[in-house]
Amino acid sequence: MTGMDSTASPISRVVAVTGAGTGIGRATARAFADEGAHVVAIGRRAAQLGETASGYDRITPLVTDITAEGGPDRIIRTVIEAHGRLDVLVNNAGIVRGGALGDLTREMITDQVATNLVAPALLAQAALPALETSSGVIVNVSTSVGQRAWPGSSVYAATKTALELLTRSWAVELAPRGIRVAAVAPGAIDTPIGEHQGLTPERMAQVRAWQLAHTPLGRIGRPEEVAWAITQLAAPAASFVTGVVLPVDGGAVVA
Ligand SMILES: NC(=O)c1ccc[n+]([C@@H]2O[C@H](COP(=O)([O-])OP(=O)(O)OC[C@H]3O[C@@H](n4cnc5c(N)ncnc54)[C@H](OP(=O)(O)O)[C@@H]3O)[C@@H](O)[C@H]2O)c1
């Protein structure tokens, strides 16, 4: 027999998504699974991850804290042991602890830096050998901050602008190894992030009103709209795209 067996099914990609129990991470895990990928859905709460995986036999929950000592290495090891490869790492998990200078505590600063910056960096580093083998992709989830000030959430915004700089820097560092790195910068998206931040419904309504007034498309985005952008940046057809930060914000950053 000569040539390849044309009936052989292509190898499924393996995708790790952090913060996959809710919001953008859940939509992203499902979008990759819909494309035929095996997805490891990472988060701290089993119930939320179980809901993400419900009805999706290609999504495997992994209940863990990405900020735990040794956590990133353990996570990547678990993915490789389960699936033998890793094609896409989506650094989506993130937290917001609002507070203006004068009201900040050490914990507010270190928690955000640990979750939004340290863990993505250590996860990306742990994933390098596997991503090099698969010519893989890292997609980081930033926020639509651009060059603007973000009074009241300066530390959150700082972690995300730093994540964007890491995205550009890693894209250049890793290009010779065949690994692409990109980011999305979502605007106002309908997820429980405000609830997780501890905002009251009244404060959340004020935030939404401000967001609507500053979003040219005049509405709040859906998690699936961000998930779509993440899958596109990670797609094999995006093979010449690296180092970019793609706003998915209804035009907010250019308004
Ligand atoms: N929604 C928006 O308007 C918006 C706008 C711009 C950017 N973003 C960014 O989008 C990303 C997703 O946010 P979202 O809006 O979907 O909010 P979300 O629903 O609060 O999602 C964040 C997820 O991260 C997980 N997480 C937090 N800390 C973790 C840790 N230490 N280890 C493992 N998982 C952890 C949370 O689950 P557990 O608590 O169960 O671990 C949660 O499922 C974040 O990076 C956020 O900054 C969101």
What is the average pLDDT across 165-181?
98
Distance 156 CA to ligand 1 centre (A): 12
User: Could you give the domains of the chain?
Assistant: 14-246 (3.40.50.720)
Instruction: Inform me whether the pLDDT recorded for 6 exceeds 50.
Output: no
Query: 161 CB less than 6 Å from ligand 1?
Result: no
Q: pLDDT tens digits, residue range 85-99?
A: 999 999 999 999 999
SS3 label, residue 60: strand
Instruction: Inform me whether the pLDDT recorded for 2 exceeds 50.
Output: no
Mean pLDDT of the chain: 96
What is the average pLDDT across 211-231?
98
Query: 191 CB less than 6 Å from ligand 1?
Result: yes
Q: Is the four-CA dihedral 175, 80, 159, 252 of positive or negative sign?
A: positive
Instruction: Inform me whether the pLDDT recorded for 112 exceeds 70.
Output: yes
| The overall pTM is greater than 0.85 | yes
- Which pLDDT score is estimated for 39? 98
| C-alpha distances out from residue 190 to 13, 35, 77, 224, 249, Å | 28, 23, 33, 10, 12
Q: Which atom of ligand 1 is nearest to the CA of 68?
A: 31
- Edge-first strand listing for the sheet containing 245-248: 59-63, 38-43, 14-18, 88-91, 137-141, 180-186, 245-248
pLDDT band at residue 61 using 50, 70 and 90 as cut-offs? very high
- Which pLDDT score is estimated for 1? 36
Query: 221 CB less than 6 Å from ligand 1?
Result: no
- Which pLDDT score is estimated for 36? 98
Query: 215 CB less than 6 Å from ligand 1?
Result: no
Radius of gyration (Cα) for the chain, nearest Å? 18
Instruction: Inform me whether the pLDDT recorded for 249 exceeds 90.
Output: yes
- Which pLDDT score is estimated for 11? 84
Find the catalytic residue in 37, 127, 145, 156.
Answer: 156
Q: Which atom of ligand 1 is nearest to the CA of 91?
A: 45
- Which pLDDT score is estimated for 228? 98
What is the average pLDDT across 47-61?
98
Query: 28 CB less than 6 Å from ligand 1?
Result: no
- Which pLDDT score is estimated for 59? 98
Q: Which atom of ligand 1 is nearest to the CA of 211?
A: 3
Q: pLDDT tens digits, residue range 8-53?
A: 557 899 999 999 999 999 999 999 999 999 999 999 999 999 999 9
Distance 94 CA to ligand 1 centre (A): 4
Q: Is 156 a catalytic residue?
A: yes
